Amino acid sequence: MEWVTHSAWETEALAARLAARLSAGDVLAFTGGLGAGKTAFVRGLCRGLGSPAPVSSPTFALMNEYRGGRLTLYHFDLYRIETDDDLAAIGYYDAAGAPGAVTAVEWSENVPEAFGEEVIRVRIEPEGDDVRRITVEGVDGFEDSGT
Ligand SMILES: Nc1ncnc2c1ncn2[C@@H]1O[C@H](COP(=O)(O)OP(=O)(O)OP(=O)(O)O)[C@@H](O)[C@H]1O
Ligand SMILES: [Mg+2]
């Protein structure tokens, strides 16, 4: 399903609605270049899950963990990651297999072989200063939830 948003806030709100559709074990693999709005989307996911934790880019930390919501949210940024071994080393597979948690992965295109048919794909394409085309694949029923 595809949406066009016109502000970071609108992207967050879309993500917050998507959060209601997530269940434990889900992995969201983001693609979209620098500044596309991936972290903004994850901020909305965190809010939608009910966690009060502030979301920041894990570009340097590699992984952030947000607790206190319906599900724990693990947030990875693969900007500096190149191989599946690196991915394992930063704890991706532990997070993706953790009970009661969902995992969001920025720059998933850096290790494409790690993200197959089973993941939820979120593609964010800038179409202007504040305009983003957001495509989500792999969430049953989200199409009907309204925007
Ligand atoms: N419609 C929109 N949706 C999301 N962000 C938007 C939108 N319009 C403008 N922005 C701005 O674009 C920027 C998105 O930054 P964000 O950190 O979320 O991108 P990112 O994809 O995570 O980048 P990076 O690859 O550096 O991690 C913010 O400054 C935000 O305010
Ligand atoms: Mg980011």
| Residue 48 in domain | yes
Residue nearest to atom 14 of ligand 1 (CA): 37
The number of folded domains in the chain is 1
Q: What is the mean pLDDT of each run of 10 residues along the chain (147 residues)?
A: 97 98 97 97 98 88 94 96 95 96 97 96 97 95 62
DSSP secondary structure, the chain, as one string: -EEEESSHHHHHHHHHHHHTT--TT-EEEEE--TTSSHHHHHHHHHHHHT--PPP---TTTSEEEE-SSSSEEEEEE-TT--SHHHHHHTTHHHHHT-TTEEEEEETGGGSGGG--TTSEEEEEEE-SSS-EEEEEES-TTGGGG--
Q: Are strands 2-5 and 132-137 parallel, antiparallel or unpaired?
A: antiparallel
| Residue 143 in domain | no
| Residue 97 in domain | yes
Domain range for 99 is 2-138
CATH number for 63: 3.40.50.300
Ligand 1 atom with the smallest distance to the CA of 132 is 1
Q: Would you say the CB of residue 147 lies under 6 angstroms from ligand 1?
A: no
Query: According to the model, what pLDDT value does residue 140 have?
Result: 79
Residue nearest to atom 16 of ligand 1 (CA): 37
Instruction: Find the ligand nearest to 33 CA.
Output: 1
| Residue 144 in domain | no
Instruction: Find the ligand nearest to 35 CA.
Output: 1
Query: According to the model, what pLDDT value does residue 58 have?
Result: 82
Query: According to the model, what pLDDT value does residue 60 have?
Result: 75
| Residue 145 in domain | no
Residue nearest to atom 18 of ligand 1 (CA): 37
Q: Would you say the CB of residue 5 lies under 6 angstroms from ligand 1?
A: yes
Query: According to the model, what pLDDT value does residue 130 have?
Result: 98
Query: According to the model, what pLDDT value does residue 146 have?
Result: 52
Beta-bridge partner residues of 80:
none
Query: According to the model, what pLDDT value does residue 117 have?
Result: 93
Query: According to the model, what pLDDT value does residue 131 have?
Result: 98
| Residue 128 in domain | yes
| Residue 26 in domain | yes
| Residue 147 in domain | no
